[in-house]
Each structure stands twice: as structure tokens, then as C-alpha cells.
Amino acid sequence: GINLLDNRVPAAFAVITTSIKLLPIIAVIAYGLFFGKVDALNQSVATVTATPSGGFGMAVLATLFAYDGWATLTNMGGELKNPQKNLPRAIVIGILIVVVAYAGISYGMMRAMPANEIVRLGDNATFGVVTQAFGKLGGRLLTIIILISILGTINGKLMALPRMTFAMAEDGVLPKWLAKVNRFNEPIGSILFLTVTASLLQFTASADWLSNIAVFIIWIFYTATFVGLFILRHRDKQAVQVAEPLQELESIFSVPGYPWVPLIAILGALFVLISTLINDFGSSIIAIGLVFIGLPVYWYYSRKKGEAYD
């Protein structure tokens, strides 16, 4: 509902929810730094439980959802002021905040709780530290803040992802009703379609499984984007040779540290994807199959678009 209003409303909601979700992170970091008397980093863990679908690549895959804003933000590029300047700045600062938050809360917990206890509590370790520091009230507040954080994440996704569906529909490769906008110029067709689809998917499998296959699939496309950077730059050079005025095109696909930065990105992405395929082949194939379901729709509308141009 918020995302059907003027985009300043969901943008303000995103700022509020992000600020609120940072509060317990800052609290745990501060508690660990100033009141923590444990040094879990130098402790041995007595019992380690192995999981059948392990692997470092799978562990990385599980965390990549937290960093996904770097890419979904680019969908909003057309609605940002001075995107060439503000978009890279927002991506870099955003990722740095997430890295500092993750590293900080991990260090804070290891200062506040013994290693064996962290392993025993597992997903509830953060809740255990907050309860230890701030009592039962702190635990209840953390639960509320987690719910607010989830709402903030959903809001962010519904701000960014429908823009992709909208752009494809506007380009004629998806049904035109997905390009419908309301009086606030919000892509109402795409927002409602993705909301209904996501709501139905919630009843098909666990949240962890759904998020893992979603991240796995999107990283296939991110890898293709990294590879596409080399292709586009090569085409730019050819275009420059044909017509000198097109020389400025090369700056559109410029990357600091080219070609090493995109090469490292490709290698890192392939490591995660191949590791996931090896450790959870069945789920990976199902995820790829779900994407292929959309291909006939894409082909049909692409052909229809081509016939219209003919």
C-alpha cells in the first residue's frame, strides 16, 4: 500500500525502518565493547555439528541477501537526482555500513558470550546477548525491531524490483498491463503482480529455501552482467572507430580498476554458484526451472514486438 503512494512515502519509510534496525546492532556492539568480559575469538568450541548441505560457498550465499541492495538500488536510477554521482556513492556507503554492522555485531557478541554458548544458541545467539544485556524487555524490543526490519526489507524490494518488471513491460517483452502507472507515477501493475506472486510463494516452501534460491538465481544474472561489461566495452571501442562522436559512450561502462574488479567479481560469483550447485543440486535445478517457466512469455511478447515493428 505504501508503495502505491508518491515515492517519497516509501523512501521515508525506508529511512525510518533502517534507522530503527540499526539500534539493536549499535546496542550489541556498545555492550560488547564496554561491558563484555569474554574473548570468544580465543576459545575452542567443544561440540561442532556438521550439516549435510554445508560448504563455504553455501554460507556466503546465505549472507548475500543482506548485501543485495547494491544491485536493486540501480533499478531506482531513473528516479534519483544526479544518479551518476549519487548512485555509486549510495552503493559504496551502503555496503560499507552493512560490512561494519556485520563485523561489529559479531565482535560484540564474541565479547559478550562464550564460544560454546554462541554455537549452542545458533540463530538465537543475538537474542541471548540482548536478553543478557537488557533483560526480558530488551528481548521483546528486539523481536519488535526484527519485525520492523522485515517490513523495511519488503518495502525496499517493492520500491526497486517492480521497476525492472515495469521497464520490461514498457519495452514490450512482458504484458503491457505490467507497465500501468497510477496518478503518482508508481508502477501499480508490477507492484500488485509481484506482491501477489510473493504472497503465494510463501505457502510453497520455507523462507530460508525461498531466499536461497532467489539469491542463487539473481547471482546467475549478476554474473552475466559482469561478463556483459567486457562485451559492452568492446562494442564501444568498435563504435568509436566507426564514429568519433560516440567516444563518450565508453564512459557509461567504465569501472574503477578495470579489468581486475569485474574479473574478481566473476570469479567470486562463480565460486558461490558452483558451490551451491554441488552442495544443493536439486534446489538449484528447481530454481533454474522456475526461471525457464518465464521464457515462453518473454519469447511470445518479443516476437509480438518484432511483428509490430515489421
Pair (68, 152) in one structural domain: yes
Pair (101, 121) in one structural domain: yes
- Say what the pLDDT of residue 54 is: 61
- Say what the pLDDT of residue 155 is: 93
Residue 14 has pLDDT above 80, yes or no: yes
Pair (46, 98) in one structural domain: yes
Pair (129, 58) in one structural domain: yes
Higher-confidence residue: 42 or 178?
Answer: 178
Pair (245, 99) in one structural domain: no
Residue 42 has pLDDT above 90, yes or no: no
Pair (81, 111) in one structural domain: yes
User: 204, 228, 256: which is the final residue of a domain?
Assistant: 204
User: 149, 172, 204: which is the final residue of a domain?
Assistant: 204
Nearest Cα to 15, choosing from 85, 101, 71, 90? 90
d(CA 295, CA 287): 14
Pair (196, 213) in one structural domain: no
Pair (9, 124) in one structural domain: yes
Q: What is the pLDDT of residues 96-111, one digit of tens each?
A: 998 999 899 989 988 9
- Say what the pLDDT of residue 151 is: 93
Q: What is the pLDDT of residues 161-179, one digit of tens each?
A: 999 999 999 999 999 999 9
Task: Enter the pTM of the model.
Answer: 0.80
Ramachandran area for residue 122 (φ above 0: left; ψ -120 to 50: alpha; else beta): left
Nearest Cα to 271, choosing from 229, 308, 231, 216? 216
- Say what the pLDDT of residue 118 is: 87
CATH number of the domain that residue 130 is part of: 1.20.1740.10
What is the percentage of the chain residues whose pLDDT exceeds 70? 92
Pair (43, 76) in one structural domain: yes
Q: What is the mean pLDDT of the chain?
A: 86
Residue 57 has pLDDT above 70, yes or no: yes
- Give me the domain span that covers residue 128: 1-204
User: 151, 183, 204: which is the final residue of a domain?
Assistant: 204
Pair (93, 8) in one structural domain: yes
The number of domains in the chain is 2
State mean pLDDT over 134-145: 90
Nine cell digits for residue 270? 562463480
State mean pLDDT over 120-144: 88
Pair (197, 273) in one structural domain: no
- Say what the pLDDT of residue 228 is: 92
d(CA 262, CA 239): 22
Higher-confidence residue: 50 or 296?
Answer: 296
Pair (138, 259) in one structural domain: no
Give, as one character, the DSSP assignment of residue 48: -
The alpha-helical segments, DSSP class H, found in 243-294 are 260-279, 281-293
